[in-house]
Amino acid sequence: MTPMAATLASASGLNGAGIDGDLYTSVTDFARHTRWLNTAAFAYTSYGIALFAVFLLAGWWIARRHDTRTMTSALLAPLAVVLAFLVNDGIKSVFQEPRPCRALPHDFLIEPCPPLDDYAFPSNHTTVAFAVAAALFFVNRRLAAVATLAAALMGASRVYVGAHYPHDVLVAALTGSCTAALVMLLARPLAAPAVDRLRAGSLRTLLTSPAHFDQ
């Protein structure tokens, strides 16, 4: 890290390079020597977040065949993800950690360096991915396990392409998982009675599978 970069990091906020900059460099060096993987990693880190919307839809579809508690969880999952994102964004605004491309400008990058006010700590992509996975554990554990694997790959890809330090990803995983789980635990008992009424009313076809209509 050059003296100028160190001064910029110190003046701007959290000095991420001083935490695990060496590990970040090792990962980006690995990316430099595995160029055959670069295109796939960039595609996943850029567009793979849409996969988590598919996971949420799958959770709703599965919940239609189960009880009100499960459907309530499926409907609350998107809210839990949004709140996790907002919490993460609040942390970003407090710590204002410069992106590693600013502090370590000579390291290998696949993803272009974002604007100065697009901070690194914690990773929004990783927070959203792990929030989806955590919320889905209240819906269907098999689906949640697949989502967790996809979330781990998302986190790893954020470091691989040079967008984040490893600690950005680890803290984001905790932020997303804990916030989503807390929202689900607190909100589900409150929302369940309303969902039960909706399942018996005009939204029955959306919230209950045909096999349950006569039950």
Q: Taking the chain (215 residues) in consecutive chunks of 10 residues, what is each chunk's mean pLDDT?
A: 44 69 90 93 94 94 84 91 95 89 85 85 94 95 96 95 93 96 92 76 65 48
Residue 61: alpha-carbon gap to chain centroid: 21
Dihedral sign, Cα of residue 42, residue 15, residue 81, residue 140: positive
Instruction: Quote the pLDDT of residue 135.
Output: 95
The pTM score is 0.85
What is 45-60 written as a DSSP string?
HHHTHHHHHHHHHHHH
Residue 210: what pLDDT?
60
Q: Please check whether residue 121 is in contact with residue 16, taking contact to mean a CB–CB distance below 8 angstroms.
A: yes
The residue among 118, 93, 91, 96 whose CA lies nearest residue 12 is 96
String of b and e for 77-115 (b: at least 16 CB within 10 Å)? bbebbebbbebbeebbeebebbbbbbbbeebbbbbeeee
Domains of the chain by range and CATH?
53-198 (1.20.144.10)
CA angle centred on 41, ends 92 and 168, rounded to 5°: 20
Element containing residue 133 per DSSP (H, E): helix 124-136
